[in-house]
A and B are shown apart, each in its own frame.
Chain A
């Protein structure tokens, strides 16, 4: 099996889906000739032409809204927001329109659209190129939010998102783009949206997280294994709607749960995970559910000192895991 990077998995999934179904097309800023500012659509313009790899005017609400219109017609648009931070002008289109179209039309209309956006920090991106925005959308029934951690998951879940008949927000960690590599089958496969995945079996503590933080947890777990602490790691993969059964099983398995995100602490995905655990796992718990997250400041600052302070890393995760194990 070929080892490819996280971003190559994005490109591979897009290329294969565009080949498979000529209703699939890509639209966004700089996605065409340039192949995307991160090169996620590299080569697609030459292969599929400017009509299917569409450079749009710089206007995020139109990127989402035009995609919604095309999807309602029956196309399968994959819209790119250049940075998740810049999705805000499109929020009305995503929340008022895409999320509610099927429901408000009593199943008459639907929006089979995927919106891809790079999120996350640790790239000297400062306040507006570092954010995690999933919590903004994670109480909007009608939407699905996928946040994969590995190249294998990227390919299988992006394909599943494109084939899904409802709108999917597909958030890609921009630091993972070239940092994370992994084995990816060359053949076609999809992974189920809405299912969490156990990334490491363990029996002492449970870490539930998603995105780049999965790798921080895996690294920390290897170190802690040397100390005899055996961590169970659940990758949420889909952060909305959450895989409640997967969360309950993972939490009950060890009774000690650490939830990790690089987003702000309050009101985020892990807050909801914590609520699910508290509603369902009271008698299985041996310690209070712990949350490790970014500080509750508006976003990640630019200066390296402050960026490092905000950003999640393996050391912070390792310490929190050890503290919980020792509880």
Chain B
């Protein structure tokens, strides 16, 4: 039997199984959304596929009863971990009135849900980075011990808001975890044309914070790095930059065709490292994911995704005139 890697991290068998279940849930919702898009039922999809391990591994390392998440558009794994439901996500996919993210105002992937401390986001990338710093600043001023986790792609690490936010957090030693989900592509532009440094985490030293690069296909490696970063945050030691390296398994979005800029062999190769496969293998080797449990889990998730799809498809759109609401406080 392969070495048990989760016990030493303080994770029980039940916890790693739950972690995997959330990863699988994200994958299956995402796959359903593609089907719905290709069937002409929803106009747009932007995927988490290939990044579930990083998203869920990081989230599970936090205190999801008090920490804040500032996700980017691929972070279905993060928001599921923080308490958004599959039905919520489907309501967003179908742009229905009950969508808690925006009531159908924003495209899917623009997450936000105050009750779960998932902070609302927009489409211009990286704007959420200074927000995470501001939330951490507020927490420090109010003497709270929560941390704020902000995630973004490696392309976003080129934006000014990344630099300005990271520097601010470094100067004021704020409890922020900057997590770069490096999926190797900013739409069509590969990492080699995005970064002059070898790793995104190399940038950390410029902000006076530690920087780490971990395998983004390994939820336990991500968990370990984020857990240590959260501990540093809560000890008043300031922010951390973590880069999780994995691969974007889908085109950028439902409107993209990635065959125009990358070889199929490259994608096929990446699929061998897909965390949904590799982490399942680990759990099987540990006798945690038994055949029986796996069958049950698949059936349960399929049922949830089916129910969520049906519910969202049949739910109402917002009234047209409601577009006038909530420009200002009412």
Q: Are A65 and B165 in contact (CB under 8 A)?
A: yes
- Give the chain B neighbours of A166 by CB distance below 8 A: 328-329
Q: Report A30-61 CB contacts with B as 1/0, cut-off 8 Å.
A: 00000000000000000000011000110101
Q: Are B137 and A66 in contact (CB under 8 A)?
A: yes
The answer to whether the Cβ of A8 comes within 8 Å of any Cβ in the partner chain is: no
The answer to whether the Cβ of B41 comes within 8 Å of any Cβ in the partner chain is: no
Q: Are B164 and A62 in contact (CB under 8 A)?
A: yes
The answer to whether the Cβ of A70 comes within 8 Å of any Cβ in the partner chain is: yes
- Give the chain B neighbours of A165 by CB distance below 8 A: 329
Segment of A92-100, A123-131, A258-266 in the binding face: A92-100
The answer to whether the Cβ of A106 comes within 8 Å of any Cβ in the partner chain is: yes
Q: Are A66 and B326 in contact (CB under 8 A)?
A: no
Segment of A71-79, A152-160, A170-178 in the binding face: A71-79
Partner of A102, one of B119, B137, B326: B326
The answer to whether the Cβ of B194 comes within 8 Å of any Cβ in the partner chain is: no
Q: How far is the CA of A256 from the CA of B267 in the complex (A)?
A: 71
Q: Are B130 and A72 in contact (CB under 8 A)?
A: no
Least Cβ distance of A22 to chain B in Å? 9
Q: Are A72 and B102 in contact (CB under 8 A)?
A: no
Q: How far is the CA of A109 from the CA of B274 in the complex (A)?
A: 35
Q: Report B115-127 CB contacts with A as 1/0, cut-off 8 Å.
A: 0000110111001
The answer to whether the Cβ of A105 comes within 8 Å of any Cβ in the partner chain is: yes
The answer to whether the Cβ of B81 comes within 8 Å of any Cβ in the partner chain is: no
Q: Are A70 and B137 in contact (CB under 8 A)?
A: yes
- Give the chain A neighbours of B326 by CB distance below 8 A: 102-103, 106-107
Please judge, given known A-B contacts A57-B167, A107-B326, whether A97 and B138 are in contact too, CB under 8 Å.
Answer: no
Partner of A105, one of B120, B129, B163: B120
- Give the chain B neighbours of A75 by CB distance below 8 A: 138, 141-142
Q: How far is the CA of A166 from the CA of B327 in the complex (A)?
A: 9
Interface residues on A, range: 35 or more
Q: Report B100-121 CB contacts with A as 1/0, cut-off 8 Å.
A: 1111011000101110000110
Please judge, given known A-B contacts A66-B134, A72-B131, A106-B103, whether A61 and B161 are in contact too, CB under 8 Å.
Answer: yes
Interface residues of A in 155-204 (CB under 8 A from B): 164-166
The answer to whether the Cβ of A223 comes within 8 Å of any Cβ in the partner chain is: no
Please judge, given known A-B contacts A70-B135, A106-B326, whether A57 and B171 are in contact too, CB under 8 Å.
Answer: yes
The answer to whether the Cβ of B80 comes within 8 Å of any Cβ in the partner chain is: no
The answer to whether the Cβ of B264 comes within 8 Å of any Cβ in the partner chain is: no
Q: Are B132 and A69 in contact (CB under 8 A)?
A: yes
Q: Report B135-167 CB contacts with A as 1/0, cut-off 8 Å.
A: 111110110000000000000000011011101
Q: How far is the CA of A61 from the CA of B166 in the complex (A)?
A: 12
Please judge, given known A-B contacts A57-B171, A62-B165, A69-B132, whether A102 and B328 are in contact too, CB under 8 Å.
Answer: yes
Please judge, given known A-B contacts A57-B171, A105-B102, whether A73 and B120 are in contact too, CB under 8 Å.
Answer: no
Least Cβ distance of A95 to chain B in Å? 9
Q: How far is the CA of A100 from the CA of B112 in the complex (A)?
A: 13
Least Cβ distance of B102 to chain A in Å? 5
Q: How far is the CA of A105 from the CA of B115 in the complex (A)?
A: 12
- Give the chain A neighbours of B129 by CB distance below 8 A: 65
Chain B residues with a Cβ closer than 8 Å to the other chain, count: 45
Which chain B residue shows the least CB distance to A107? B326
Partner of A61, one of B106, B110, B130: B130
Least Cβ distance of A45 to chain B in Å? 15
Which chain B residue shows the least CB distance to A25? B141
Q: Are A109 and B160 in contact (CB under 8 A)?
A: no
Q: Are B165 and A66 in contact (CB under 8 A)?
A: yes
Least Cβ distance of A258 to chain B in Å? 31
Which chain A residue shows the least CB distance to B133? A66
- Give the chain A neighbours of B123 by CB distance below 8 A: 96
Which chain A residue shows the least CB distance to B141? A51
Partner of B134, one of A68, A92, A164: A68
Q: How far is the CA of A255 from the CA of B326 in the complex (A)?
A: 36
Partner of A108, one of B114, B122, B164, B171: B114
The answer to whether the Cβ of B325 comes within 8 Å of any Cβ in the partner chain is: yes
Q: How far is the CA of A25 from the CA of B171 in the complex (A)?
A: 18
The answer to whether the Cβ of A141 comes within 8 Å of any Cβ in the partner chain is: yes
The answer to whether the Cβ of A104 comes within 8 Å of any Cβ in the partner chain is: yes
Which one of A71, A73, A93 has the greatest number of beta carbons of chain B within 10 Å?
A73
Q: Are B131 and A68 in contact (CB under 8 A)?
A: yes
Which chain A residue shows the least CB distance to B150? A69
The answer to whether the Cβ of B317 comes within 8 Å of any Cβ in the partner chain is: no
Q: How far is the CA of A56 from the CA of B137 in the complex (A)?
A: 12
Least Cβ distance of B84 to chain A in Å? 12
Least Cβ distance of A185 to chain B in Å? 27
Q: Are B122 and A102 in contact (CB under 8 A)?
A: no
Q: Are A69 and B131 in contact (CB under 8 A)?
A: yes
Q: Are A62 and B168 in contact (CB under 8 A)?
A: yes
Which chain A residue shows the least CB distance to B136? A69
Which chain A residue shows the least CB distance to B167? A57
Least Cβ distance of B305 to chain A in Å? 24
Q: List 14 A-B contacts (CB under 8 A).
A: A62-B133, A65-B129, A65-B165, A72-B134, A75-B138, A93-B130, A97-B122, A97-B131, A104-B106, A104-B112, A107-B326, A108-B112, A110-B329, A144-B328
- Hey, which bits of chain B sit against chain A, CB under 8 A? 68, 99-103, 105-106, 110, 112-114, 119-120, 122-124, 127, 129-139, 141-142, 160-161, 163-165, 167-168, 171, 325-330
- Having A61-B160, A109-B114, one finds 10 other A-B pairs with CB under 8 Å, namely A62-B164, A66-B134, A69-B119, A69-B134, A69-B137, A97-B122, A102-B326, A105-B114, A107-B330, A164-B329
- Hey, which bits of chain A sit against chain B, CB under 8 A? 25, 51-52, 56-57, 59, 61-62, 64-75, 77, 89, 92-93, 96-97, 100-110, 141-142, 144, 164-166
